[in-house]
A and B are shown apart, each in its own frame.
Chain A
Amino acid sequence: FHTLFMLQVENVKLLDRYTNRKAANGTLYLTATHLIYVDASAEVRKETWILHHHIATVEKLPLTTAGYPLLIHCKNFHVAHFVIGQERDCHEVYTSLLKLSQPVKPEELYAFSYNPKMSKENREIGWKLIDLKVDYQRMGIPNNYWEITDVNKDYEVCNTYPPEIVVPRAANKAVVVGSSRFRSRGRIPVLSYLYKGNNAAICRCSQPLSGFSARCLEDEQMLQAIREANPGSPFMYVVDTRPKLNAMANRAAGKGYENEDNYDNIRFKFIGIENIHVMRNSLQKLLEVCEMKSPSMSDFLTGLENSGWLRHIKAVMDAGVFLAKAVKDEKASVLVHCSDGWDRTAQVCSLASLLLDPFYRTFKGFMVLIEKEWIAMGHKFSHRCGHLDGDPKEVSPVFTQFVECVWQLMQQFPCTFEFNERFLLEIHDHVYSCQFGNFLGTCHKEREDLKICEKTHSLWPFLLQKKQELRNPLYRGFTAYKELQPNTLPFSFQFWCGMYNRFDKGMHPKQCVLDHLLSCMSQKMKLEDNASELENKLPFLDGPLPSEACSLSKVGCAASKTPMLNTPQDYEGEPPPVLSNGTSAGDIDVTSDVDQKYKENLSHHRDLHDLNDAIDVLDSEAKDGKPQHH
Chain B
Amino acid sequence: MLRSSQPLMGPNRKRCREDEVLLGTVLDEGERGFIIDTRSAQAAKQARMTGGGTEPKSSYPQWRRLHRPLERGRPLQESFIKLVEACNDPLINMDRWLSRLESCRWLSHVKAALSTACLAAQCMDREEASVLVHGAEGTDTTLLVTALAQVILDPSCRTLAGFQGLLEREWIEAGHPFHLRCARSAYSHARLKQEAPLFLLFLDCVWQLSRQFPFSLEFGERLLLTLFDNAYASAYGTFLCNNVKERRVGREVGTALCLCKVKESTHSLWAWLNQPGEKKKYLNPLYSHNALVIWPSVEPQSIQLWQGLFFRWIRSSQYLDEAWAEIQRLVEGN
Residues of B within 8 A of A1 (CB): none
Residues of A within 8 A of B98 (CB): 301-302, 304-305, 310, 490
Q: Which of B116, B299, B305 has a CB less than 8 Å from the CB of A507? A: B299
Whose C-beta in chain B lies nearest to the C-beta of A500? B301
How does the 8 Å CB contact mask read for A330-363 relative to B, with 1 for contact and 0 for none? Answer: 0000000000000000000000000000000000
Q: Which of A566, A567, A615, A630 has a CB less than 8 Å from the CB of B57? A: A615
Tell me if A392 is interfacial: C-beta within 8 Å of chain B. Answer: no
Residues of B within 8 A of A524 (CB): 330, 333
Pair B327/A474 contact, Cβ less than 8 Å: yes
Pair B301/A495 contact, Cβ less than 8 Å: yes
How does the 8 Å CB contact mask read for B56-76 relative to A, with 1 for contact and 0 for none? Answer: 111000001111100000000
Tell me if A208 is interfacial: C-beta within 8 Å of chain B. Answer: no
Pair A561/B215 contact, Cβ less than 8 Å: yes
Q: What are 9 inter-chain pairs, A to B, with CB distance below 8 A?
A: A301-B300, A305-B99, A412-B319, A490-B92, A491-B92, A491-B311, A504-B299, A566-B295, A569-B298
CB contact under 8 A between A516 and B215, given known A474-B327, A608-B34, A615-B57: yes
Number of interface residues of A (CB under 8 A): 77
Pair A297/B122 contact, Cβ less than 8 Å: no
Shortest A50–chain B CB gap in Å is: 22
The A184-211 residues at the B interface (CB cut-off 8 A) are none
Pair B118/A571 contact, Cβ less than 8 Å: yes
The B79-110 residues at the A interface (CB cut-off 8 A) are 87, 92-95, 97-99, 101-102, 105, 107-108
Pair B327/A517 contact, Cβ less than 8 Å: yes
Residues of B within 8 A of A (CB): 34, 40-42, 45, 56-58, 64-68, 87, 92-95, 97-99, 101-102, 105, 107-108, 111, 115-116, 118-119, 121-123, 126-127, 211-216, 286, 288, 290-292, 294-295, 297-305, 307, 311, 314-315, 319-320, 322-323, 326-327, 330-334
Pair A557/B333 contact, Cβ less than 8 Å: yes
How many angstroms between the C-alpha atoms of A162 and B288 in the bound complex?
Answer: 53
Shortest A128–chain B CB gap in Å is: 34
Pair B304/A494 contact, Cβ less than 8 Å: yes
Pair A569/B297 contact, Cβ less than 8 Å: yes
CB contact under 8 A between A603 and B126, given known A414-B320, A557-B331: yes
How many angstroms between the C-alpha atoms of A67 and B305 in the bound complex?
Answer: 41
Whose C-beta in chain A lies nearest to the C-beta of B63? A615
Residues of B within 8 A of A601 (CB): 126
Residues of B within 8 A of A561 (CB): 215, 288
Shortest B327–chain A CB gap in Å is: 7
Tell me if A295 is interfacial: C-beta within 8 Å of chain B. Answer: yes
How many angstroms between the C-alpha atoms of A243 and B272 in the bound complex?
Answer: 57
Shortest B49–chain A CB gap in Å is: 12
Whose C-beta in chain A lies nearest to the C-beta of B34? A608
Whose C-beta in chain B lies nearest to the C-beta of A552? B333
Pair A571/B115 contact, Cβ less than 8 Å: yes
Pair B122/A415 contact, Cβ less than 8 Å: no
Residues of A within 8 A of B292 (CB): 563-566
Shortest A140–chain B CB gap in Å is: 30
Residues of A within 8 A of B215 (CB): 511, 513, 516, 561
The A597-630 residues at the B interface (CB cut-off 8 A) are 601, 603-605, 608, 611-612, 615-616, 618-619, 625, 627-628, 630
Tell me if A506 is interfacial: C-beta within 8 Å of chain B. Answer: yes
Whose C-beta in chain B lies nearest to the C-beta of A527? B333
Shortest B192–chain A CB gap in Å is: 27
CB contact under 8 A between A556 and B291, given known A297-B107, A495-B301: no
CB contact under 8 A between A490 and B107, given known A521-B330, A568-B118: no
| Dominant secondary structure of chain A at its interface with chain B | loop
Q: Which of A290, A520, A555, A627 has a CB less than 8 Å from the CB of B41? A: A627
Tell me if A492 is interfacial: C-beta within 8 Å of chain B. Answer: yes
Tell me if A539 is interfacial: C-beta within 8 Å of chain B. Answer: no
Residues of A within 8 A of B56 (CB): 619
Pair A507/B319 contact, Cβ less than 8 Å: no
Pair B57/A616 contact, Cβ less than 8 Å: yes
Q: Which of B40, B67, B330 has its CB near the most chain A CB atoms (within 10 A)?
A: B330
Whose C-beta in chain A lies nearest to the C-beta of B56? A619
Given A520-B330, A605-B127, 19 extra CB contacts under 8 A: A300-B301, A301-B99, A302-B98, A473-B330, A476-B322, A489-B314, A491-B87, A494-B304, A509-B214, A510-B213, A523-B333, A561-B288, A568-B295, A571-B119, A571-B122, A601-B126, A604-B127, A615-B57, A628-B41
Residues of A within 8 A of B93 (CB): 490
How many angstroms between the C-alpha atoms of A490 and B87 in the bound complex?
Answer: 10
How many angstroms between the C-alpha atoms of A416 and B123 in the bound complex?
Answer: 45
How does the 8 Å CB contact mask read for A350-385 relative to B, with 1 for contact and 0 for none? Answer: 000000000000000000000000000000000000
How many angstroms between the C-alpha atoms of A507 and B300 in the bound complex?
Answer: 9
Q: Which of A297, A504, A510 has a CB less than 8 Å from the CB of B212? A: A510
How does the 8 Å CB contact mask read for A583-606 relative to B, with 1 for contact and 0 for none? Answer: 000000000000000000101110
Pair B297/A608 contact, Cβ less than 8 Å: no
Pair A630/B67 contact, Cβ less than 8 Å: yes
CB contact under 8 A between A491 and B305, given known A474-B326, A510-B294: yes
Pair A497/B297 contact, Cβ less than 8 Å: no
Residues of B within 8 A of A234 (CB): none
Whose C-beta in chain A lies nearest to the C-beta of B302? A507
Whose C-beta in chain A lies nearest to the C-beta of B44? A618
Tell me if A573 is interfacial: C-beta within 8 Å of chain B. Answer: yes
Tell me if A59 is interfacial: C-beta within 8 Å of chain B. Answer: no
The A464-496 residues at the B interface (CB cut-off 8 A) are 473-474, 476, 487, 489-495
How many angstroms between the C-alpha atoms of A165 and B259 in the bound complex?
Answer: 82
Whose C-beta in chain A lies nearest to the C-beta of B210? A509
